[in-house]
Amino acid sequence: MADKELNMNVRDDNVSEETKKLISSLPTYEDSLVKLCKYQGSGAVDNLSRLEVNRTGKTLTNVDHNSFFRKGEVGGCKNYLTPEMENKIDMIIDEELKGSGLTF
């Protein structure tokens, strides 16, 4: 539901003041995206990849911890995915974002 629609419904006479207060305090999609971008830009992932345990350790199934970290370069998926796999992921993302107002 778009924020404008939500605000129109919240102002309706049949909604209590307490409910209006609760709904207005909920974070928006934009708030969540800003928080995620700040986290990504803070170097948190870089810091994790530099930890000794993640550079030299292994999982219980003997997989190197450093294999879970990628450089995050545009197009880097081509090193790991076939074109069919890329298309499948793109289709899933398109389907999940449908109606959200976000484009990929």
Instruction: Kindly state whether residue 11 falls inside one of the protein's structural domains.
Output: no
Residues 6+ apart with CB under 8 A from 55: 49, 65, 66
pLDDT value at position 48?
Answer: 72
Instruction: Kindly state whether residue 90 falls inside one of the protein's structural domains.
Output: yes
Instruction: Kindly state whether residue 58 falls inside one of the protein's structural domains.
Output: no
- Mean per-residue pLDDT, 71-75: 76
DSSP letter string, 44-67: HHHHHHHSHHHHH-B-TTS-BGGG
Instruction: Kindly state whether residue 92 falls inside one of the protein's structural domains.
Output: yes
The larger pLDDT score, comparing residue 52 to residue 15, is at 52
Instruction: Kindly state whether residue 50 falls inside one of the protein's structural domains.
Output: no
- Which pTM was predicted? 0.38
pLDDT value at position 13?
Answer: 60
Domains in the chain, number: 1
Tens digit of pLDDT for each residue in 32-65?
777 766 665 556 666 777 777 777 888 889 888 8
Instruction: Kindly state whether residue 43 falls inside one of the protein's structural domains.
Output: no
pLDDT value at position 39?
Answer: 60
